[in-house]
Structure 1
Amino acid sequence: MVLVLSGVLQDEPPPDTRSLLQAHPIYKDSAQQFVAIPNKVVGPAGLLYVRQRELAVTVPHDKNVTILGSDDATTCIIVVLRHSGSGAVALAHLDGAGTEECAATMVQRVQEVGMGFAEGRLELQLVGGFSDSRHYSEDLFYNIMHAFHRQPVEIDLTLACVGELNTTIRSGIHWPIVYGVGVITKTGELFPATFPDKGPDLALRIARHLRGGQQVLDIYDSNLGLLRIGPFNYDPLRGVDLWLEQPDELILQHLSTSPEVEPPHFVMQIRATLKYIQEHPFPAITVFRDNRPRYYRRDENTGQWVPIRY
């Protein structure tokens, strides 16, 4: 069972975005309305930032998190699942790895943290991806739709700002319109957003998916109000010194799925990540002492996530 499109249960998910729009033109209207919302620049106070191959779940009364958000999505798709009764909300940043397991985890966790609210429906919103030349986004869209369709509950697709609906053309090149989204946890309101502060351990988190970590990790404990990173390992990178000597253009061309449309800070982030891998080739030994996660709590004065010292 499971996807509900335009209020109608579907036997099969649509194979691509074009089929979705032909059968359900309402999604074109809602996507056009969404991309017309002004982009907001969101600061660190109250923000829980979710990176690529990560997910997080929280509830409206969480005093530590008022906005869930993610950005830098080019060929990736940001997925939001919310229960309209409890207001429990999950956000994931997906690139094709771990999609099936992530969909199941999002459904399970939203039901868990929102327990006690029988009334309401599960609402799915997809933002990101664009009409890229290699069709990465189109394949990812289908995989996400298929993964949620397989869940044993009804899920209403309420927004699909993906593929051609999230594409503009500049100088003959296809670009994403929206790179990031924020969700106000109290209301479930979704808006285009940019996040200059992407939270702690950024290079470590990027290194995991850059060097083979396939799982979509749940990074937040809403009961304790703690951001949780790891533990995990990643594949060592032979020749990392050589990579660091390469010009920006070569790094961009070889380490991005969409080099023409990456945000300006992409290469800087990758260089910082390569440097981190150089310094910590085996994080299971040097970063996650005794195989323990790195925990962060919200500082009441600064609004930043600060490490918990053991």
Structure 2
Amino acid sequence: MVLVLSGVPQEEPPPDTRTLFHNHPLYKDTASQLLSIPTKMVGPVGLLYVQQRELAATVPQDKNVAIVGSDDVTTCIIVVVRHTGSGAVALSHLDGAGTEEAVMNMIQRVQELSMGYPEGRLELQMVGGFSDTRNYSEQLIYSIMQAFQRQLVEIDLTLACVGDLNTTIRGNVRCPILFGCGVNVKTGELFPATFPDKGPDQALRSARHFTGGQQVLDVYDCSLGLLRIGPFNYDPLRGVDLWLEQSDDFILQQLSTSPEVEPPHFVMQVRATLKYIQDHPFPAVTVFRDNRPHYYRRDENSGTWTPVRY
């Protein structure tokens, strides 16, 4: 219905971020405020980590999740939808696949979790992307804003630390300033963050989008406190043995949308994902037996995710 920018309803999203920031300088101020906050290293206790092509939603009353977040975004965008009345929040890590459905599902989940709260409005925050040479981020930002514009609700864009506002120059190379962020579920505060522990089944979750899975999966049930991975399938990756034989630099150059700015662990994670695909070419058969998801529950003693045994 309406995307609200700087408190003003818009019939159409701006054609590009330059126009957005020129017409609405408020976003420069809010981005500067976010960038002035030191980046926090967040441990696994109380963390719900959202990987690429995933989303998760929860509420302030959730005793299992204190922070929801994601990182390792270069050309990707972290999208946060929050209801100011209930505090319900949804976060996704979008790369251009499944954007429309993801936006619709985020809004739907937050609305469902906000039933019984007549007061409040929906707010949208976007973090990530940069002025990359191939213009990936710019196209993604526009497609996300278009997707929100097409929804049958009014949503207020309160933060857009994206594109030019999230770009710096290092060694004559443009790169992102922020690579990740977290949201304090109880307060709604969004802050720069990095997450050394990215939760269970990391290689399996990466294998899904690595092999072309387009859907943005909802990975958390806050009513049960369960992290849910799968079930899903992917086709065996042709040439995976050959990929694993290549040099780190070859993998970086060929498998990244922004090889010049990837974090140091990028290649290591790609290799772990390729190895997982090599070892599990048919996950529907060998990983998700009887088509059952992998469920994880928060351990009360350690505070980390532990498998739910059947």
Q: Structure 1 length as normaliser, TM-score?
A: 0.99
Residue 50 of structure 1: how far off its partner (Å)? 0.1
Residue 276 (structure 1) aligns with: 276
Residue 156 of structure 1: how far off its partner (Å)? 0.3
Residue 218 (structure 1) aligns with: 218
Q: Please give the secondary structure, in 2, of the residue aligned with 1:3.
A: strand
134-143 or 232-241, which moves further after superposition? Answer: 232-241
Within 5 A, what are the aligned runs for 1:74-113?
A: 74-113=74-113
Q: Which amino acid aligns with 1:197?
A: D
Find the aligned partners of 2:244 and 2:143 in 1 and give their Cα distance. Answer: 34
Find the aligned partners of 1:142 and 1:237 in 2 and give their Cα distance. Answer: 31
Residue 186 (structure 2) aligns with: 186
Q: Which amino acid aligns with 1:115?
A: M
Residue 237 of structure 1: how far off its partner (Å)? 0.8
Q: Which amino acid aligns with 1:292?
A: R
Residue 259 (structure 1) aligns with: 259
Residue 14 (structure 1) aligns with: 14
Residue 242 of structure 1: how far off its partner (Å)? 1.1
Residue 297 (structure 1) aligns with: 297
Residue 238 of structure 1: how far off its partner (Å)? 1.3
Residue 40 of structure 1: how far off its partner (Å)? 0.1
Within 5 A, what are the aligned runs for 1:139-158?
A: 139-158=139-158
> Quick check: 1:160 aligned with 2:160?
yes
Find the aligned partners of 2:22 and 2:193 in 1 and give their Cα distance. Answer: 29
In structure 1, runs of 5+ residues without a counterpart are none
Per-residue CA shift, 1:194-224, capped at 9, x if unaligned?
0000000000011100101000000000000
Q: Which amino acid aligns with 1:216?
A: V
Residue 198 (structure 1) aligns with: 198
Residue 169 (structure 2) aligns with: 169
Find the aligned partners of 1:205 and 1:299 in 2 and give their Cα distance. Answer: 21
120-129 or 299-308, which moves further after superposition? Answer: 299-308
Residue 171 of structure 1: how far off its partner (Å)? 1.2
Residue 111 of structure 1: how far off its partner (Å)? 0.5
Find the aligned partners of 1:186 and 1:269 in 2 and give their Cα distance. Answer: 31
> Quick check: 1:123 aligned with 2:113?
no
Q: CA RMSD in A?
A: 0.6
Find the aligned partners of 2:43 and 2:230 in 1 and give their Cα distance. Answer: 24
Residue 31 (structure 2) aligns with: 31
Q: Which 4+ runs in 1 deviate beyond 6 A?
A: none
Q: Which amino acid aligns with 2:45?
A: A
Q: Please give the secondary structure, in 2, of the residue aligned with 1:51.
A: coil
Q: Tell me the matched-pair count.
A: 310
Find the aligned partners of 1:82 and 1:62 in 2 and give their Cα distance. Answer: 15
**% identical aligned pairs:** 77
Q: Structure 2 length as normaliser, TM-score?
A: 0.99
Q: Please give the secondary structure, in 1, of the residue aligned with 2:37.
A: coil
Residue 2 of structure 1: how far off its partner (Å)? 1.1
Per-residue CA shift, 1:146-186, capped at 9, x if unaligned?
00011111100000000000000011100100000000000
